Amino acid sequence: MLGATILVPGFARSGPSLAFDPAFALAFDGSAILAATPDGLLRHDGESWTKLGDVEPPNTLSTHPSRPGVIYAGWQDGSLRRSDDSGESWTAADAGLPGASILSLTMAAQSSGILYASLEGDGLWRSEDDGETWNFVMDRPYLDGAEHDVLSLVSVANETGMGGIWLYAGTRAGLTRVPDCFCRWQDVVAGDAMDALVAGNAPTEAAALPAGEPVEILALAPDAPERILAALPSGLWLSTDAGVNWAQVTPDPATALAVDPADPLHVIAAGPSGLRASRDGGTIWTSFDQSQDS
């Protein structure tokens, strides 16, 4: 059924809306939308959903914000593949990886060709050649007396005194980050991170994410690094200052989340209420089909 428009079993239509649950991962590929579902990898071109080949659904996706058609996908069996034609065909892109489940993928901010992956039970790996080869760069973060897997990963271009490029990580113990020099994991703090680290001062009090909740998904538009969305069991949270202060924008949980690289206020999310879209950064939501008609 390659290239055919399909109505996938479990995706029931009710009027103009499409019930869409669950989804493992969402991503923008240019103006199109990708969704990894139990029935396969799907692509929406603005009018309809198309199933992409016969690949098993990946559990994480990453696309290139300035090169539409370039997609990376990671699977639970540890395989990682790349597509240069919007998912029509795939090639292996996991040389050097140890075979552990790929939990999250992200393109490096401001650095074309650099890709990061978090692996279950392992840590962070980096490819500097579009996924051709990989090298280990950082152990898992040590939080609350234990190492934690990185469930979600985003690269943030934020000038805070440690080189300006950060990897923010969502874990079961909360949010942490590491600069791309990979010197150490640390909390997200206001102001100059190097000064705070050297001085040993207590961080400025901020409106943090809820304590004790896993940060399951992080998402942003690369050109708006100050706006970060985080999906927690308590709902969707937004920071407009690169992760220092947070506010809940909706109590609805999300199983997948993506921000449009061309418009940081355009967000899509999947969850128990179906696939939905927001055009104001996450405050007001409509069903995905209705948003496409607007």
Pick from 239, 255, 257: which is nearest to 247 by CA?
A: 239
Q: pLDDT digit string (tens) for 75-121? A: 999 999 999 999 989 999 999 999 999 999 999 988 778 999 999 99
Q: pLDDT digit string (tens) for 61-76? A: 999 888 899 999 999 9
Residue 147 phi, psi (nearest 5): -75, 145
Q: pLDDT digit string (tens) for 143-196? A: 999 999 999 999 998 765 555 789 999 999 999 999 988 989 998 887 555 555
Whole-prediction pTM:
0.87
> Residue 104's beta-bridge partner residues?
118
Q: Which of 53-57, 235-239, 263-267, 279-283 has the lowest mean pLDDT?
A: 53-57
E strands present in 108-262: 115-119, 123-127, 135-139, 142-143, 146-147, 152-157, 165-171, 174-179, 217-219, 228-232, 235-239, 247-250, 256-260
Correct CATH for 25-293 of 3.40.50.9100, 2.30.33.40, 1.20.120.1770, 2.130.10.10:
2.130.10.10
Pick from 85, 26, 75: which is nearest to 55 by CA?
A: 75
Amino acid at position 191, single letter: G
Q: pLDDT digit string (tens) for 206-231? A: 789 999 999 999 999 999 999 999 99
